[in-house]
Structure 1
Amino acid sequence: MSALRTWATPLTVATFLFMGMTGILMFFHLDSTLNKLLHEWGGWLMVGGVLAHLVLNWRPFTSYLKRPIGQGIIGLGVVVLALSFWPVSSDGSPVRHLMQAVAQSDVATVIALSGQQLDAGLEALAAAGLQADRTTTMAELTGGARGVQMQVIDVLFTAGE
C-alpha cells in the first residue's frame, strides 16, 4: 500500500489540473487539437489515479455514503451521468445528419463541396490510396466505415491547406 500511496494522490491531483484546464478551454472553444487529445487520454490516467486513491481511502469514502449530503452529491452525479446518455432530440445532432448525407452522396458531390475541381479531388484521393471515379459513391469508396469516411473528408477538405 505504501508504494500505491506515493503516486495515487499526486496522479489524481495532476490529472485533475490538466483535465480541469483542458475542459475549461474546450468549454470556451479555445482548445487546440493537443488539448482535446490530452483531455481524452488524460481521462484514462485520471480514472487510474482516482481508483488508486479510492482504494487507499476506502474507509473515509464510505463515511460519505452514510451522510445525506454525500449521498445527495454522489447520487446527483450518477443521475447526471445517466441522463447524459439520453438523446437530446429524436432527430439527432446536425453533425450526424451531415455525416449521413455525406455517406449517401457520390464522391463527385463531396469533392465539389470541398471546393476542389473533380480531377484534383480524385488525384488527392488516389494519392491517399483511395481509388474512385466520378460515379463512385461514398458507400462504395468507404465500405460504410466511418473512419474511412473521415479520411476521405480529411483528404478532400485539407488538400489546399
Structure 2
Amino acid sequence: MSSLRSWATPLTVGSFLIMGATGVLMFFHIETGLNGFIHEWAGWAMVAGVGAHLAMNWRAFKIYFKRPLAKGIMGVSAVVLLASFVPVSSGGSPVQVVMQAIGQADVETVIALSGQELETGLARLADAGFSTQADTRVQELTGGDRGQQMQIIEVLFSE
C-alpha cells in the first residue's frame, strides 16, 4: 500500500489539473495545439490515479455509501453518465451542425460561400497563416481544431 500512496494521489491531482484546464478550454472552444490530445490521455492517467486512490482508501470510501448526500451525488452522476449514451436524434445545435459541415467541406466551397473569388480567399488564408489548396478539407487544414476553424471563418467572412 505504501507504494500506491507515493504516486496515486499526486497522479490524481496532476491529471485533474490537466483535465480541468483543458476541459474548460474545450468547453469555450479555445483549445489549441495539443489540448484535445492531452485531455484524452490525461483522462487515462486520471482513471489510473483515482482507481489506485480508491483501492488505497477503500475502507474510508465505503462510509460515503451510508451518507444520503454522498449517495445522491454519486447516483445523479451515474444517471448523467447513463444519459450520455442516449442517442440524440435532433443532430445537435444548428451551430454545431454548420461547424461540422464547414469542417467537412473543402476550402474552395467555404470560400465560395463567403462570396469571394477563389484566389482572393486563398490569399487571405495564406496571409492569416493557412497555406492550402482549394481541394483541401477544412478539417484537414486545421487538424480538427475548432479554434483554428473559427479563425478560418473569421478570415473569410469578415469584411
Give the structure-2-normalised TM-score: 0.60
Deviating above 4 A after TM superposition, structure 1's stretches of 4 or more consecutive aligned residues are 90-100
Q: What one-letter code is carried by the residue in structure 2 that aligns with 1:29? A: H
Compute the RMSD of aligned alpha carbons. Answer: 4.0
Counterparts of residues 7-46 of structure 1 (less than 5 Å): 7-46=7-46
What is the Cα deviation at residue 33 of structure 1?
A: 3.1
- For the structure 1 residues 98 and 30, does the alpha-carbon distance in structure 2 shift closer, same or farther, using more than 3 Å as the test? closer
User: In structure 2, what is the Cα distance between the partners aligned to 1:93 and 1:26?
Assistant: 17
Matched residue SS, 2:66: coil
Give the structure-1-normalised TM-score: 0.59
What is the Cα deviation at residue 50 of structure 1?
A: 0.3
The alignment status of 1:89 with 2:89, answered yes or no, reads yes
Instruction: Give the structure 2 partner of residue 73 of structure 1.
Output: 73
Deviates more, 1:57-66 or 1:83-92: 83-92
- For the structure 1 residues 42 and 81, does the alpha-carbon distance in structure 2 shift closer, same or farther, using more than 3 Å as the test? same
> Once the two structures are superposed, what CA deviation does each residue of 1:56-105 show, in whole Å capped at 9, x if it has no partner?
000111000111011001111100111111123255677789989xx9xx
- For the structure 1 residues 68 and 15, does the alpha-carbon distance in structure 2 shift closer, same or farther, using more than 3 Å as the test? same
User: In structure 1, what is the Cα distance between the partners aligned to 2:24 and 2:90?
Assistant: 29
User: In structure 2, what is the Cα distance between the partners aligned to 1:99 and 1:35?
Assistant: 19
Identity of aligned residues (%): 56
User: In structure 2, what is the Cα distance between the partners aligned to 1:93 and 1:44?
Assistant: 29
Return 5+ residue gaps in structure 2 as ranges. 119-131, 133-138, 144-159
The alignment status of 1:5 with 2:5, answered yes or no, reads yes
Report how many aligned residue pairs link the two structures.
137
